[in-house]
């Protein structure tokens, strides 16, 4: 029997913590679908298309992992593709509380789906997409927290052209 799991998030950008969850999931499930969830209320640095392309690049070595995006409910996508599990990464107690509430909401919407919490490795517990962007903006080395392709994309987006004052462009789904 083929087991399909969905790992959804904003992934703005994908971090080593996210990839830790993907690696674990790829060993546990026949197929893992990483889903860039487009939240109309969340401003992002990278477009959904850029996030999907980056994730595809960094998970390419996992043949049982695919990447897509959706603006709809994750439970609806899970039903469409025959997934039985929703994966959620957790870094610590604060994440666990939020993720448990989300899992309960998803269970109310789709009782046939199970939610599985997967922790990233301990040394990645403090790495969030927001913290990654902040560290890079301050000029810190973030190579332990994300792949080189992510660093390159963030530098491209966050670095001002020489001599220019530059504010990063934040993307909302309705604004490109």
State yes or no: pLDDT of 176 exceeds 70: no
Q: What confidence score (pLDDT) does residue 170 get?
A: 56
Task: Tell me if 100 is assigned to some domain.
Answer: yes
| 53 close to 68: Cβ distance less than 8 angstroms | no
Q: What confidence score (pLDDT) does residue 165 get?
A: 46
Mean pLDDT, the chain, rounded, equals 88
Active-site residue identified among 62, 79, 91, 135: 91
pLDDT digits (tens, 9 = 90+) for 117-170: 998 888 888 788 998 999 998 989 999 999 999 999 998 988 765 544 445 555
Residues annotated in the binding site for substrate, as ranges? 10, 42, 74, 88
Residues annotated in the binding site, as ranges? 10-11, 18, 42, 74, 88-91, 99, 124-130
Task: Tell me if 129 is assigned to some domain.
Answer: yes
- When divided into structural domains, the chain yields a total of 1
CATH number at residue 130: 3.40.50.620
Q: How far apart are CA 122 and CA 111, in angstroms?
A: 31
pLDDT digits (tens, 9 = 90+) for 29-60: 999 999 999 988 888 999 999 999 999 999 99
Strand order in the sheet with 31-37: 65-70, 31-37, 4-9, 85-90, 114-119
Q: What confidence score (pLDDT) does residue 97 get?
A: 87
pTM of the model: 0.87
Sign of CA dihedral 42, 73, 22, 53: negative
- Name the 3-class secondary structure at 116: strand
Q: Is 91 part of the annotated catalytic residue set? A: yes
Domain boundaries, position 93: 4-158
Task: Tell me if 18 is assigned to some domain.
Answer: yes
Task: Tell me if 114 is assigned to some domain.
Answer: yes
pLDDT digits (tens, 9 = 90+) for 47-104: 999 999 999 999 999 999 999 999 999 999 999 999 999 999 988 777 888 899 999 9
Task: Tell me if 173 is assigned to some domain.
Answer: no
Active-site residue identified among 3, 30, 42, 172: 42
Q: Is 18 part of the annotated catalytic residue set? A: yes
Task: Tell me if 176 is assigned to some domain.
Answer: no
Query: What count of other Cβ atoms lies within 10 Å of the Cβ of residue 111?
Result: 9
């Amino acid at each position: 029997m083929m087991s399909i799991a969905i790992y959804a998030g904003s992934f703005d950008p994908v971090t080593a913590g996210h990839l830790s969850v993907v690696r674990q999931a790829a060993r546990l499930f026949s197929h893992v679908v990483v889903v860039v969830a487009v939240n109309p209320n969340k401003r992002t640095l990278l477009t959904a298309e850029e996030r999907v392309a980056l994730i595809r690049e960094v998970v390419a070595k996992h043949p049982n992992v695919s990447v897509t995006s959706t603006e709809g409910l994750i439970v609806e996508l899970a039903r469409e593709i025959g997934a039985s599990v929703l994966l959620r990464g957790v870094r610590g107690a604060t994440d666990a509380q939020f993720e448990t509430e989300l899992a309960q909401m998803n269970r109310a919407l789709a009782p046939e789906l199970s939610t599985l919490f997967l922790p990233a490795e301990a040394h990645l517990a403090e790495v969030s997409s927001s913290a990654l962007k902040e560290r890079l903006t301050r000029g810190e080395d973030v190579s332990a927290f994300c792949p080189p392709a992510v660093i390159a994309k963030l530098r491209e987006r966050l670095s001002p052209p020489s001599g220019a004052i530059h504010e990063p462009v934040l993307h909302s789904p309705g604004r490109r």
